[in-house]
């Protein structure tokens, strides 16, 4: 470098820039000027829609402006912990690894928490309508990483359980604000102040502009669907009508903010006490007294697809494993059949959880036996173009995330037989769809292409 040019031009220019930058940092709050923000470029992704009992991907041809529709059958998983691990940059690599590994298994949808309510350092909503921007940026990171790996997200918006705040936190906030509110958790579905809190949160999330990509969540195809609430239950069956009204009101509210994404409830799939026919499919009499009903709750117009969970080992106590197998088989069949014939909507089994215990008589893992039942029934439904649209395993971890685990959680690649079963399901669902194994958009490293060769 020419010494004279460096001394007379480069150094003075750097000095001026440094002074201006320091002035900006000190006085930026009083300035109308801001440096232009640079957003990351993202791969193309189509939005997911519903056509009667099937999901499809709507792809826009960038050159011809033509629309192409591809069927979508889903093999996916749950990792509820993604946002908490995205809050701090030093732990984000685990989130990236989970999404990358999911993609390598041919999985297409991940369900995770889009909520964390309370006053802790890792909570998203600190008070009603007051948010931790650092945590929001963690959620931004998840959305960008998911799209990078061709994964779509189901974001749940509140927990009916106490973990991560949940409905109980909303009730406490209302009480602390001096609102006359019942101590029953069913007040979440009826109290006007609490419903306003929830709508404020939903609006903040749905209309957020991603700080990394610059894309609004309502315009982001990497979001598969909004889930209104994880596992809604009422303390009293008398609150059933209140829950039904709440689902109708909140699904309509989400649709008023976002017409591009699907909406689901977050049901476990139980049948109500006043219903006939499928009540016998419940895991026990207790399930009919929770104020929820699969048919009624899922039948609301703004609910695009039905959601069901399956936990025979938690729901049914004191019976032999074969009886649990029989229950699971009936549970899957009844929900696919009613989604097809009554609701005329896709049914997605958004949580299916089984333990990794080994059967003494044959040495097989319980998880593989039960998971294969779910997978086979989804596959048979897909071949017939019926309502069984997919299933999401509960839940996957990566190394170092064991603290988020329960008896149903596992690191898939540490369980080769289960890993193989999951990849096989991904591939046969893909091959069943109109996209198929030969689709040009498939990455050359896609596991199903490797298996097909």
Q: Is 447:453 a contact under the CB 8 Å cutoff?
A: no
Distance (Å, whole) CA 160 – CA 375:
28
Distance (Å, whole) CA 379 – CA 386:
10
Residue 351 annotated as catalytic: yes
Nearby residues of 405 by Cβ (< 8 Å), 6 or more positions away: 395, 397
Q: What is the chain's alpha carbon radius of gyration, rounded to the nearest angstrom?
A: 24
Residue 338 annotated as catalytic: no
Which residue from 335, 393, 439, 443 is spatially nearest to 57, judged by alpha carbons? 439
CA-to-CA dists, residue 189 to 65, 149, 369, 416, angstroms: 44, 37, 38, 44
Please identify which residue in the block is written with the tokens 């699969």.
294
Say what the alpha-carbon torsion angle 398, 400, 402, 404 is, to the nearest 10 degrees: -80
Distance (Å, whole) CA 257 – CA 109:
23
Q: One of 145, 231, 268, 340 is an active-site residue; which one?
A: 231
- Give the active site residues: 231, 351
């Amino acid at each position: 470098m020419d010494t004279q040019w460096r001394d007379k031009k480069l150094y003075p220019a750097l000095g001026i820039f440094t002074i201006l930058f320091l002035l900006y940092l000190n006085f930026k709050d009083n300035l109308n000027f801001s440096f232009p923000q640079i957003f990351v470029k993202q791969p193309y992704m189509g939005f997911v829609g519903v056509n009667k009992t099937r999901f499809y991907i709507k792809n826009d041809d960038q050159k011809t402006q033509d629309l192409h529709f591809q069927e979508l059958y889903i093999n996916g998983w749950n990792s509820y912990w993604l946002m908490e691990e995205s809050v701090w940059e030093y732990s984000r690599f685990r989130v990236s690894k989970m999404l990358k590994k999911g993609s390598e298994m041919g999985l297409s949808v991940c369900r995770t928490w889009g909520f964390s309510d309370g006053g802790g350092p890792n909570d998203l909503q600190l008070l009603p309508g007051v948010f931790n921007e650092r945590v929001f940026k963690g959620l931004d990171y998840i959305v960008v990483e998911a799209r990078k790996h061709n994964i779509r997200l189901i974001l749940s918006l509140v927990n009916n359980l106490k973990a991560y705040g949940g409905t109980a936190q909303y009730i406490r906030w209302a009480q602390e604000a001096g609102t006359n509110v019942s101590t029953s958790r069913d007040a979440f579905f009826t109290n006007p102040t609490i419903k306003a809190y929830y709508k404020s949160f939903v609006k903040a999330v749905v209309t957020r502009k991603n700080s990394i990509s610059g894309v609004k969540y309502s315009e982001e195809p990497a979001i598969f669907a909004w889930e209104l609430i994880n596992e809604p239950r009422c303390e009293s069956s008398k609150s059933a009508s209140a829950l039904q009204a709440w689902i109708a009101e909140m699904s309509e509210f989400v649709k008023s903010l976002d017409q591009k994404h699907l909406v689901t409830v977050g049901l476990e799939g139980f049948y109500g006490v006043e219903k006939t026919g499928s009540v016998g499919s419940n895991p026990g009499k207790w399930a009919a007294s929770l104020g929820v009903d699969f048919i009624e709750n899922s039948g609301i117009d703004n609910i695009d697809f039905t959601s069901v969970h399956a936990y025979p080992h938690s729901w049914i106590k004191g019976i032999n494993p074969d009886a649990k197998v029989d229950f699971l088989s009936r549970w899957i069949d009844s929900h696919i059949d009613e989604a097809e014939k009554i609701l005329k909507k896709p049914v997605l089994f958004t949580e299916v959880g089984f333990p990794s215990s080994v059967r003494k008589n044959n040495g097989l893992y319980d998880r593989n036996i039960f998971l294969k039942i779910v997978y086979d029934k989804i596959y048979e439904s897909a071949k017939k173009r019926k309502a069984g649209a997919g299933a999401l395993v509960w839940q996957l971890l990566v190394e170092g995330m064991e603290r988020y685990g329960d008896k149903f959680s596992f690191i898939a690649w540490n369980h080769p037989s289960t890993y193989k079963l999951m990849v096989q399901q991904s591939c046969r669902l893909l091959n069943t769809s109109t996209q198929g194994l030969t689709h040009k958009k498939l990455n050359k490293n896609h596991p199903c292409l490797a298996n097909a060769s």
